[in-house]
Amino acid sequence: METALIVGLILLAALVIYFQQRRFQKNLIQTQADLLKEHAEEVENIYRQMRGWRHDYKNHIQSMKAYLELNQLDLLKNYLAELDEDLVEVDISIRTGNIMADAILNSKLSIAESRGITLHVKAAIPADLHIQNVDLGIIIGNLISNAIEGCMTVENPDERFIRVYIAEMKQQLYIAITNSMNQPIRKAFSGYQTTKSGKEHGFGLKRIDQTVQKYDGYINRQHEEGVFATEILLPL
């Protein structure tokens, strides 16, 4: 009798482990699929911008050649001045001083801009950063992704915004992301929880928390009606 009970318990434990593994694999596959979809959108957006630049480049070259052939040097000079001013306005690339942060911010925020989200970005990262680039990418990437998702819950595009501020502050790297939102927020004992469905709940939040904890950093999340903000301090 006891032997049968032990065997039954072993089988039950094996079934529990089996279904837990199946659930974990399913969630992992879904998370990977979401990441691939997000990266594909980033690449597609960059490719679209490159095609636009190529088309404009040809037009500009033809216009300048026409001025040159007609010996209209004054008009050519004015055209070059206007083109230079236009390029300054079009160039929204963000240069923080850190290649990883530049790549993440430019790719993520280009998607935000394509979705009609107003951007306010001010970022400068010191060169002697001891934080690994991969970890910096995890923090910034997940913060921006969550901010974009929050903005897309706002029905009116004119009310969607993301504010990014990154700077050195008292021997620490200060990262602040604020975004508009229109969704319920749950706050549990362990912190904030998302209300997203169809993917691993709070996966991005956990990755951020784990990475900040790795460097003995500080994280603070606040929300009020229509706005969500995250502040992070990482020792330099």
CATH code, domain with 143:
3.30.565.10
CA distance 117 to 151: 7
Tokens of 97: 């001083």
With 50 as the cut, is the pLDDT of residue 66 above it? yes
Residues 45 and 108 placed together within one structural domain of the fold: no
Tell whether 56 and 123 lie within a shared domain. Answer: no
The pTM is what? 0.63
Q: How far is CA 207 from CA 38, 136, 137, 152, in A?
A: 17, 11, 11, 22
- Domain co-membership, 112 together with 216: yes
**Are 53 and 134 in the same domain?**
no
51 in the same domain as 144? no
> Who contacts 113 (Cβ-Cβ below 8 Å, separation ≥6)?
92, 119
Measured in residues, the chain has a length of: 236
pLDDT beyond 80 at 140? yes
Q: Domain of residue 151: give its range.
A: 99-235
Cβ atoms of 78 and 67 within 8 Å: the answer is no
Q: Are residues 61 and 138 in the same domain?
A: no
| Tens-digit pLDDT profile for residues 89-132 | 444 568 888 887 888 888 888 888 888 899 999 999 998 888 88
Please identify, among 47, 62, 90, the residue that sits at the C-terminal boundary of a domain: 90
Which pLDDT tens digit goes with each residue over 184-229? 776 654 455 555 544 444 667 888 999 999 999 999 999 888 999 9
Q: Are residues 83 and 126 in the same domain?
A: no
The region of weakest confidence among 31-35, 158-162, 197-201, 223-227 is 197-201
CA atoms within 13 Å, Cβ hemisphere of 77: 4
Last residue in a domain, options 64, 90, 116 = 90
- Structural domain total, the chain: 2
pLDDT at 164: 95
Residue 34 scores a pLDDT above 80: no
